[in-house]
Structures are given as C-alpha cells and as structure tokens.
Structure 1
Amino acid sequence: MTNIIETKDLRFEYTSEEEGARVVLNGVDLSIRKGEFVAVLGHNGSGKSTLAKHFNAMLLPSGGKCFVAGMDTADGEKLFDIRQTVGMVLQNPDNQLVATIVEEDVAFGPENMGVPPEEIRKRVDEALKAVGMYEYRRHAPHKLSGGQKQRIAIAGIIAMRPACIVLDEPTAMLDPRGREEVISTIHRLCSEMGITIVLITHYMDEAVDADRVVVMDDGQILLSGTPREVFSQVPRLKAVELDVPQATRLIYRLQKAGVKGLPAGVLTDDECIEVLSNLLEVNGCPSSKPRS
C-alpha cells in the first residue's frame, strides 16, 4: 500500500532568546499508508503535536524531510497541493469556525479553492451528511454543543476533499458525549470513505480501535505497532507517564496481584468481561443462589 505521509530523520527545534534552541523532534522516521488509521500518543511535550503540524506544512523541518504524497513539504511551490492533500483539525473548534451559518462555514474552504458553486453545494451537503450534521445546516455554529462544533469543523475539512485528515487532540475540550460523537465520526470517515486518519490524542481509549498506535517520547518514536502490541507493554508506557485503557489496566493489576491465567493485551470492556468470566468458570464460581 502506498504511503501518503513519510518522514525521514525529521528534526525540529524552537529557538527563543530566553532558552536558545530547544529540540522538539529528534530524528523521527515514520510512514503512514493511504487509508490507515494511526493514533499518536505521548505526554505533554513529547513532540506529538509538533509532528502533526509537519504533515500539512504548518511547520517545516529544521532537518530531515517530510513528504506528503511524495511532495516535499519544504518545497514552497507545493504548499497549496500539500494542504489540499492533508487537512488539519485543531483542538478548539471555535478557532476554525468562521461563518454565522453552518453550511456557509463548511463552504468556506471550497470557495477559497475556487470550486464552482454547484460543486460547492454538493460538497457541503455530502460533508454535513458524512458527520451527521446535515439537519443543522442552517443553524448558527455558536449555538451548537462542543461535539457538534467539532463535527462542523471536520465537515469543513471534508468539503475540501483531502486524502488525509490530521486531528490534533480534537476531543480535549469536549465532554464524554462530545468525545464519542467525534470519535465515531472519525472512524466512519476512515472505514466508509477511505480517508487516512492521524489522530493525536492523550486519551488511551480513543486509540484502541486504530490500525496502528505510535508512542512519542522526548521527540522520538518510542513504540509503534497494533494497539494490542503497544498496550501490552504496560511498564514501558508507565515509565514515560502514559496510561493504558481501563480494561488493560485492570487485567495488569490482577496479574501483578498474582492471578494466573490472564492474557496480556486485553483492550476493551467486552474482552475484559469475557476473560474474567472464563477464568471464573475454569476455577469455579461461588454459588449465586440466595441463602435459605
């Protein structure tokens, strides 16, 4: 499968008068395939958001290379094509909403790209339906919930027809319901529309259903693999101040307490229930009949 994003020895540093040069990315080699769902994890300051901003040339490398669909992000003549290929959704949806009516906001990007009006109408309707917000097309964005606003921001990106969408902690400011709405939308975009998804998050449970999990630490890639492969390494994740999904944490604690026969890499509540039910069945379960 073709890579849509590729970094080679990617390095980046911020420079300030107070601190001088501070290295944020230090030799990152990463390939993301077309149609893949990749979750990028890391504690604050690990470099994950800085990495994401290289994927649509919001930031340019201090060293090494970043390629988008084969285009070098450092090539200024390719900037328009790069940003058409990779759309960016930021943490605060209010920073991306520019109009007073939802459908006008979604149309903003295609209009600036010079898309014909008839095509804009089609794209806006399709994008709003894709995120489940078509019925709100004539509403005022500022009156919507946080999760709804974020879905409108995502629709605005979809209307520009990118091959890849990078989401930088899109649920950080949302309540649990809003988080669920946004994550469900992201998964549909990947599975039903074939859009490559790069999700930057600090919520471990949001990464469980990704195709691949990449863990950043100190500007480098610490771990990369399937969710089961990565989250089975609980001590290594804890060493860099990262947690694991709740079900994984429960099984790990039971293992540490001496409970035998529990597998590593349990990810979901349903898997956890099945594992514990099987364990009780094998070892015998106390009678649930009421005492006489």
Structure 2
Amino acid sequence: MGGYPVIKIENLKHYYTDADGNEVKALDGVSLEIEQGEFVAVIGANGSGKSTLARHLNCLLLPTDGRVEVGGMNTLDEKHMWDIRQQVGMVFQNPDNQIVAAIVEEDVAFGPENIGVPGPEIATRVAKALAAVSMTDYAKHAPHLLSGGQKQRVAIAGIMALEPKCIVLDEPTAMLDPQGRKEIVSTVRSLNKEKDITIVYITHYMTEALAADRVVVMEKGHIRFTGTPRQVFSRVDELEQLGLEAPLAAKVASELRKSGVDMPENIITDEELAQALCQ
C-alpha cells in the first residue's frame, strides 16, 4: 500500500427530505480514510447509509456538511468534479444499466472515446481492460448474450479503460448467481493486488467482505466499528444485533464456544472451522 489517503472523509453528513417531508439523516458524521492500494469492504443492513457513502466518492452526491477529498481534491469544488470522476470509477448493481454498445469491445471503448483518448491508445486500453477481467475471448460478442457475471466483468472493464486510481463497487453482485458472485470477487481482488487499484466494495454478502483488507460496518448513517475481516467477523453477536449475518464458519464456531466446546478464537473461514473440528 502507498501509505497515503486517496480518499479522506471528515464528519460527512448527508440529509435529504423524504416523500412525506421528513428530514432523513442518511449519513450523520462519517469520518474515514482510505489509502492508495487498499481494499475496503463496507457492510451494513439496508438503510445503513453504505450506498449513500459510495455515491459521495465520485460526486454523484455532495455533502450536506463535512468534507470528502479524493486525491486531495474537495468534491464540493466544482472545478475538480471532472478530475475526481476520472480518478474514481463506479460500478453499480445492474450491469445492463452500464452497458451501452452492441459489441463488448465497443462498450469498453465508450468511456475513453468520451474523454478524448486518441484512437490507437483506446485499442490498447480496451485490450488491457478485457485481459484484466479475463474477458478477452468475448471481445466480439454481443453483451446481451453474456451471463450476469460476464456482463458485470464487462462493466468493470469499461471503468478500467478509464484508468482510475480507485473503483467503487456498489453491491455489484446483488443481481448475480453464486458463480457470478465468485467471478466478480476474484476479479476485483486481482485488480487490487496486481494493478494496485484502490477498491471500495459495498456489499451485504459477508463472505464477499472476507476478501478485503479492512471492513467498515455501518448502521443508521454512522460507522459502528472497523477492522480486518478477522477482527470484524469474530464479533458475531454484535453483527447480529445490527441485522448482519456473520460468515457461517464464524457463527458455528461462536455457538460451539458458547456450548462449552474448546474452539480457537477468530475462526472466520470454512477451512479454519474444519481444521479446528478435526483437531
């Protein structure tokens, strides 16, 4: 990791008025720093503010109060908006909403064309982006014939071709089957480790957050606690109070400990549970 914050959030508040005229505090004093090259997962029940937080990272939403800085640029400063959006790419739940062309490679080229990247360089970027998400063989395919996981990988390639420093993924596997979910997590992980791209990964699947360097747990517009996956998912009872399921292995280990079985602390993966049970 580079050791400097690529994203710096200070006392961020985001309030809006709902359909009944009530003020909703979607974010109420969130502070967080994310370093270059870090993989941060943000988890929380529905309404915890995690998607609202994601939309602040590339100026889709602006603070009611507090500040968000990306690469040292304040999101409230209009002259930086374009630069911030080039530094931070967003991937959403439904890949169909992000795919615009009839051929995969044309779709991936769409972003670079829009920002005026010269033709020969676009071809290089498209090839690199498709290779990075293991979709080179599908360059000439029609996106609508792809599986959900493949479409989402094309959407990620489209962001990659813009060469952002950071990719924010807002529940990118919500519409995918388990196989598609696996593909996306492994794609994101390799982009982070091999390309040093900072990842902010919003999810309600706890097992996906196991791939992160750090997990941020949100509730009702606040950060409740944060730590490594091992630190966070060992807190099984606290997670349940927040309406979150700890990974199954952590839960089983916790129940066994409560019933008097001698189990090591901090078990969070199936492999660790199996090993402890065999002993």
TM bucket normalised to smaller: over 0.9
2:223 is matched with: 221
Aligned residues: 277
Is the partner of 1:26 in helix, strand or coil?
strand
Q: Which residue of 2 aligns with 1:276?
A: 277
Partner of 1:267: 268
Cα shift at 1:16: 3.5
Residue 122 of structure 1 aligns with an amino acid whose one-letter code is T
From 156, 159, 165, the equivalent of 2:158 is 156
Q: Which residue of 2 aligns with 1:86?
A: 88
**Distance verdict in 2 for CA 1:246–1:107, change over 3 Å:** same
Alignment of 1:91-110 (within 5 A): 91-110=93-112
**Equivalent of residue 24 in structure 1, options 26, 29, 38:** 26
Cα distance in 1, alignment partners of residues 58 and 265 from structure 2: 37
Please tell me the residue identity of whatever aligns with 2:142.
A
Structure 1 unmatched runs, 5+: 279-292
Which of 166, 172, 175 in structure 1 is aligned with 2:174? Answer: 172
What secondary structure is seen at the aligned counterpart in 2 of 1:272?
A: helix
| Runs of 5+ unmatched residues, structure 2 | none
Structural RMSD (CA): 0.8
The CA deviation at 1:59 is 0.3
**TM-score, normalised with respect to structure 1:** 0.94
Quote the offset at 1:9 in angstroms.
Answer: 0.3
Paired with 2:267 and 2:14, the residues of 1 have a C-alpha distance of: 36
Q: Runs of at least 4 residues of structure 1 off by over 3 A? A: none
Residue 281 of structure 1: aligned partner = none
Alignment equivalent of 1:209, drawn from 208, 211, 214: 211
Larger Rg: 1
| Equivalent residue for 2:121, pick from 95, 119, 122 | 119
Pairs within 5 Å for 1:240-251: 240-251=242-253
What's 1:284 paired with? none
Percent identical: 57
Structure 2 contact 170–203 (Cα < 8 Å) conserved? yes
Q: CA offset at residue 17 of structure 1?
A: 5.0
Aligned to 2:43: 41
Residues 6-58 of structure 1 show CA distances to partners (whole Å, capped at 9, x for unaligned) of: 10000001114513321100000000000000000000000000000000111
CA deviations on 1:246-290 (whole Å, 9 max, x unpaired) are 111110111122212x12221111111111112xxxxxxxxxxxx
Which TM-score applies when normalising by structure 2?
0.98
The aligned amino acid for 1:273 is: A
2:234 maps to 232
SS class of match (1:52): helix
Determine which of 179, 187, 190 is the counterpart of 1:188.
Answer: 190
**SS of the residue 2:31 aligns to:** strand
Deviation at 1:209, TM superposition (A): 2.1
Partner Cα separation in structure 2 for residue 140 and residue 14 of structure 1: 40
Q: Distance in 1 between matches of 2:131 and 2:124?
A: 11
1:66 maps to which residue?
68
- Secondary structure (helix, strand or coil) at the match of 1:10 reads strand
SS in 2 for 1:11: strand
Kept in 1, the 8 Å contact 2:250–2:266? The answer is yes
Structure 2 counterpart of 1:10, one-letter code: L
Deviations 1:120-155 (A, max 9, x none): 000000000000001100100011000000000000
Q: Distance in 2 between matches of 1:114 and 1:209?
A: 35
**DSSP-derived class of the 2:201 partner:** strand
